[in-house]
Structure 1
Amino acid sequence: MNFLSQTIANKPDPNWSQVQVIPIIESQDPLVPLGLVNSPLRSYPAYFHQGVPGALNECYVRRSVLFRLYKAARLLPTGIELVVLDGWRPLPVQQYLYDTLHTVMTTHDTQQNETELLAHLRQFVSPPSDNPAAPSPHLTGGSVDVALCDVEGLLLDMGTEFDDISFWSASAAFETITKPNARESEVIENRRLLHSVMLQAGFSNLPSEWWHFDYGNQAWAWATQQSQAQFGVAERLTLAQRWLKSVTSEV
């Protein structure tokens, strides 16, 4: 068994009260767009294509995250490519995702009390926060949602769709099947492949989502037992903001 076929361990969800007190020493690593990136990386801004209000038509990540995505992509076997579905998010997009899922769960998951519901919700969407000391992971530019595709751009079977909120979205969910059928065996190998190359490239994985990986932010620092995080809230300045910054710096 090589590192690409390692069993995915069933890990607990992050202890968010511990995550949010990890100090952030901002590295000033800039956000960079993935639209100009060539093979072996693909970019498909999923929320934009789904019509989520405020979603960007481009995926942005911190520069050092991009370098690690390159490393992960180059570890993949010939014929398989890495697809980035989401990276940095503006706060309004995070708010929309959180509110929408909260509404769905409140309406249809009536067996849980409010505390249980919020804990379940947080497994899939973090509460919106641009607090410099405890930002939502995707607001840092250090979180990425990724999948695998073939050379034609067809997504591989990962067991669920991106952003599914069922039990089967957990990274290790299919590892619990004792006698997998052909399709389940394919899913297991696809997930192991994605998980392995991303961890080899320096990312950590959110156990409740096979597609979500972190680098440099508080979630990554907690998962990898680092004493501090490198990324706080990231900003993508508008043209007017960049001009104003340039003008004021000359005064």
Structure 2
Amino acid sequence: MTIRSTVRGVLAAAAALLAVTAASSPARAVPEPKAPAEFVALATVDPTIIQEMRYITPHNFVGRPIDGYRQPVCILTRHAAQALHRAQLKLLREGYSLKVYDCYRPQRAVDTFVDWAKDLDDQRMKTEFYPLVDKSRLFEDVYIAAKSGHSRGSSVDITLVRLPARPTPPYRPGRPLVPCFAPKDQRFPDNSVDMGTGFDCFDTLSHTDDPRVQGVQRANRQFLKGALQAAGFVGIPQEWWHFTYQPEPFPETYFDFPVAWRSVAGHR
């Protein structure tokens, strides 16, 4: 064997080893996107606002934690968070606190809702969240859509809690489900004031001004609406809990960074 052939053999072996190593090496993880600097964690602006982030838990209309929710942290655009702080200061003086169920929502979470709505066989949470609505109508009745204002960062799902706040008992999967429009002492326990329905109730009784909702329940809805409107938020007719800060800093951008502290690390 000549020196030249030996060198060729060594080079060929080295090339083969490199090829095997490259094939067996795990692909480099793509870094998760982070929030723009205009986003903050609500707790850094107002730590007194109660947070009960439902989509990181199985207690929601899907029945499992939702993709994109990594930690129970409310993330919002800075202007929206500061506006909630202003509303909270006034409410605390009257013996109430705001409580958020959802804030910024990643596009991947919205995609999860869409995929779930298309699966007509998955109705494990129907008894609580959409007892009178056929699942095949969720898109037509606009309970589910391919885009959500939450993904723009200035919308919140929110309610009121009378102080001192009692803790909400944890949800235990498998427990008997009760319709979201049942009397407050029968449906899933929530430390919020009685709004007539629970959060994410797919029913016309959730319409803010539904004429069937009267008395204390109607007064509570109007109290929440008035407090948030005074701080710059606008509600929608279909959901008593949904409000958007105006003007939105990102009116046409739908973000997809995860709901996690690291997404807004260093933002103030």
TM-score interval, normalised by the smaller of the two chains: 0.5 to 0.7
> How far apart, CA to CA, are the structure 1 residues paired with 2:40 and 2:75?
5
Partner of 2:111: 95
Residue 166 (structure 1) shift: 0.7
Aligned AA (2:200) = D
1:172: which partner in 2? 209
Separation in structure 1 between the aligned mates of residue 263 and residue 45 of structure 2, nearest angstrom: 25
Q: 1:63 and 1:95, CA in 2 relative to 1: closer, same or farther beyond 3 A?
A: same
2:52 corresponding residue in structure 1: 44
Query: What is the RMSD computed on CA atoms of the aligned residues?
Result: 3.6
Asked if the contact 1:141/1:231 (under 8 Å) is kept, the reply is no
- In the superposition, the TM-score normalised over structure 1's length comes to 0.63
Paired AA for residue 254 in structure 2: V
Counterpart of 1:194 in 2: which secondary structure?
helix
Does 2:73 match 1:58?
yes
Q: Does 1:69 align with 2:84?
A: yes
Partner of 2:173: none
- Gaps in structure 1 of 5+ consecutive residues: 1-27, 129-135, 221-227, 243-251
Which is helix-richer, 1 or 2? 1
Distance 2:87 2:65 in 1: 28
Q: How far apart, in 1, do the equivalents of 2:237 and 2:252 lie?
A: 21
Match of 1:118 among 139, 160, 165: 139
TM-superposed CA distance for 1:59, in Å, is: 1.1
Match of 1:232 in 2: 253
Determine the structure 2 residue equivalent to 1:202: 232
Q: Distance in 1 between matches of 2:56 and 2:198?
A: 16
Given that 1:41 and 1:83 are in contact with CA atoms closer than 8 Å, whether structure 2 keeps it comes out as yes
Q: Is the 8 A contact 2:106 2:255 kept in 1?
A: no
Secondary structure, in 3 states, of the residue corresponding to 1:198? helix
2:76 is paired with a residue of what secondary structure? Answer: strand
Normalising by structure 2, what TM-score?
0.59
**What do residues 27-75 of structure 1 show as CA deviations (whole Å, max 9, x unaligned)?**
x761111234545422221111334232242110000001111122233
Aligned to 2:158: 146
Q: In the alignment, is the contact (CA less than 8 A) between 2:152 and 2:253 conserved in 1?
A: yes
1:212 Cα deviation after fit: 0.5
Cα contact 2:107–2:254 (8 A) shared by 1: no
1:34–1:43 contact (8 Å) kept in structure 2:
no
CA distance in 1, matches of 2:55, 2:215: 29
Structure 2 residue runs of 5 or longer lacking an equivalent are: 1-35, 59-63, 166-190
Tell me the secondary structure at the aligned position of residue 211 of structure 1: strand
In the other structure, the counterpart of 1:189 is 219
Match for 1:33: what amino acid? A
Take 2:46 and 2:145, find their aligned partners in 1: how far apart are those partners?
Answer: 31
Alpha-carbon distance in 2 for matches of 1:197, 1:49: 28
Counterpart of 2:208 in structure 1: which amino acid?
S
1:133 aligned partner: none
CA distance in 1 between partners of 2:41 and 2:256 (Å): 13
